Structure 1
Amino acid sequence: MPLLDTPVRLGVQLAPQHSTYAAIHDAVGRLEDLGVDVLFNWDHFFPLSGDPDGTHFEAWTMLAAWAEQTERVEFGCLVNCNSYRNADLQADMARTVDHISAKGGDTGRFIFGTGSGWAERDYDEYGYAFGTPGSRLDDLAEGLRRVEARWDVLNPAPTRRVPVLIGGKGEQKTLRLVARHADIWHSFVTGEELTRKLDVLARWGEKEERDLSGLVVSNELRERDEAEADALYDAGVRLFTLGISGPELDFDVVRRWLDWRDAKN
């Protein structure tokens, strides 16, 4: 643990804010053509930077459109908020988007990225109970159990065992959920802190009696340089994500990190 004999992959988180949908649609096509491995959006209802009342689009309807538009890339939310939708509904939505992305083939490309939620404005304006960090994590634990149970009984089933990505770094609850459910663990921790978190994950894996040798470790590149990325790589990160946002999308920074990915591989 973690999975080290896998190629470095680059995921781009295309923020669904401060853009028209036409611009987002165009960006999805350009990013797939450039060679990124994964496309992500996020699950919020208002912008997270810039004008807080600027343009913004909903995550899951966008993911269904991406499933139809793209041919090669994997894609998903970084991350879905467990609080906003019934867990069984989340499972059904994920299964459906997975099938759309398969385009009649055998295997879909959807990644189920999920987390407990944190953006209080989303909760307040859309009428969800905000609770506490602890209560939201408890809800996520129950939600993940229900999502996996629903996948087992849906007809048709998902096209593959849908990869689960869990974001966060909390050692008592979040990392235990990673050890129990995740195929991909995403965080923003530094290379030095990552070593400690992986030790905690290994202990949770033992308690959960789950082999974590296949776990993919994911981290963010935004505001980092190549030396920091190299340190994360040396610590075990193999999926690197890069956030870009409108109104002016920076494709040059994507090309820079694609070159770095290719050099690593």
Structure 2
Amino acid sequence: MTSTESTDRPYAKYPVRIGVQIQPQHAQYADIRRTVAAAEELGVDVAFNWDHFYPLSGEPEGLHFECWTMLAAWAEATERIEFGALVTCNSYRNPDLLADMARTVDHISDGRLIFGIGSGWFEKDYDEYGYEFGTAGGRLDALGEALPRIEQRWAKLNPKPTRDIPVLIGGGGEKKTLKLVAQHANIWHGFGDAEVIGHKHAVLDQHCADLGRDPGEIERSVGVGDKRPEQIGKALLDVGTRLFTVHVSGPDYDLGLLREWIAFRDDINNK
């Protein structure tokens, strides 16, 4: 890291980390469990699932499993990695209950949970499970109301969480979402090329400045899609991204691309 990078992007102080989103669709749970174990053995830093009730691609009524009961199982099935949802839908659970669920999974895992959360967007989930879909703005307002309740509940629980549970907020809305990140999050997760992500970082940095928060306290994360590290890795690294997440889907969870990103991480961190 150059001195310019350190000054302009204080979040560039973080080491490179690699995540994998193991999408819980089109596979039996035994296959998902084996994939989590294989990813941990390969050396991944973070394993994520997602918080949906139906597949997002492929057969819309295909095999699918619930997020948080799965995370509790992952807490027991893994030993080293951090893990969490990418991301929990705020709309689906009472915020105080969600805080208690997260605290419990945090304890089961001896402090390895990342609390990923967002405002929700997949209308089929809402319609099929009886939640009010409302508007994007209304769902973001509800997330803004829920986050302080979650933090307050963590402070009241007995026993308390094992650590200050890292909060990851996903989404790129510049007026509301990134302001919530500046107020509440330890990690911001977004999507896009280096130009888009660099712009979002600048917006988030400004929200931090407005609130008097050090932007270096927020790790910057991105989903890499099906791109290889030689295609996008350096450009995203140069704008301050430090957590790169590969997604894999059932029924055949191919970890080939994940291996390439782990090698990219090791090359960067060992320089």
Taking structure 1 as the reference length, what is the TM-score of the superposition?
A: 0.96
Name the SS for the 1:11 alignment partner.
strand
Once the two structures are superposed, residues 155-214 of structure 1 have per-residue CA deviations (whole angstroms, 9 ceiling, x without a partner) of 100000000000011111000000001100000022112222122112211222222212
Whether the 8 Å CA contact 2:191–2:197 is kept in 1: the answer is no
| Bigger shift: residues 31-40 or 247-256 | 247-256
1:95 aligns to 2:103 (yes or no): yes
Unaligned runs of 5+ residues in structure 2 are 1-8
* Alignment correspondent of 1:27: 35
Show the counterpart of 1:172: 175
Q: Indicate the residue corresponding to 1:262 in structure 2.
A: 266
How many residue pairs align between the two structures?
A: 260
Query: Is 2:202 aligned against 1:199?
Result: yes
- Runs of 4 or more off by more than 4 Å in structure 1? none
Q: Which runs of 5+ in 1 are unaligned?
A: 103-107
Counterpart of 1:196, as a letter, is: H
Is residue 98–residue 159 contact of structure 1 (8 Å, CA) maintained in 2?
A: yes
1:240 to 237, 241, 244: 244
Partner of 2:24: 16
Determine the structure 2 residue equivalent to 1:105: none
Pairing partner for 2:79 from 57, 67, 71: 71
1:135-146 matches, within 5 Å, as: 135-146=138-149
Instruction: Quote how far apart the aligned CAs of 1:118 are.
Output: 0.1
Per-residue CA deviations over 1:18-60 (Å, capped at 9, x if unaligned) read 0001111111111111100000000000000110000000000
| Amino acid paired to 1:237 | T
Contact 1:17/1:55, CA 8 A, preserved across alignment: yes
Quote the residue 2:5 is aligned against.
Answer: none
Deviation at 1:2, TM superposition (A): 4.3
Instruction: Deviation per CA, 1:104-145: give whole Å up to 9, x if none.
Output: xxxx10000000000000000000000100000000001111
Helix, strand or coil at the partner of 2:215: coil
Counterpart in the other structure of 2:94? 86
2:68 to 57, 60, 65: 60
Deviation sequence 1:231-255 (CA, Å, 0-9, x none) = 0011100000000011111121211
Letter in 1 for 2:135: T
- Quote the Cα distance in structure 2 between the aligned partners of 1:258 and 1:32: 11
CA shift, 1:227, in A, is: 2.8
Task: State the partner residue of 1:211.
Answer: 214
Question: In 1, Cα distance between the equivalents of 2:10 and 2:63?
Answer: 39
Q: Does 1:159 align with 2:162?
A: yes
Aligned residue type for 2:55: P
Aligned with 2:109: secondary structure? helix
Do 1:218 and 1:239's aligned partners in 2 also have CA atoms closer than 8 Å?
Answer: yes
Tell me how large the CA RMSD over aligned residues is: 0.9
Aligned partner letter, 1:39: A
Instruction: Indicate the percent of aligned positions where both proteins have the same amino acid.
Output: 59
Residues in 2 aligned to 1:236 and 1:122: alpha-carbon distance in whole angstroms = 34
Residue in 2 that maps onto 1:6:
14
- Cα displacement (A) at 1:149: 0.7
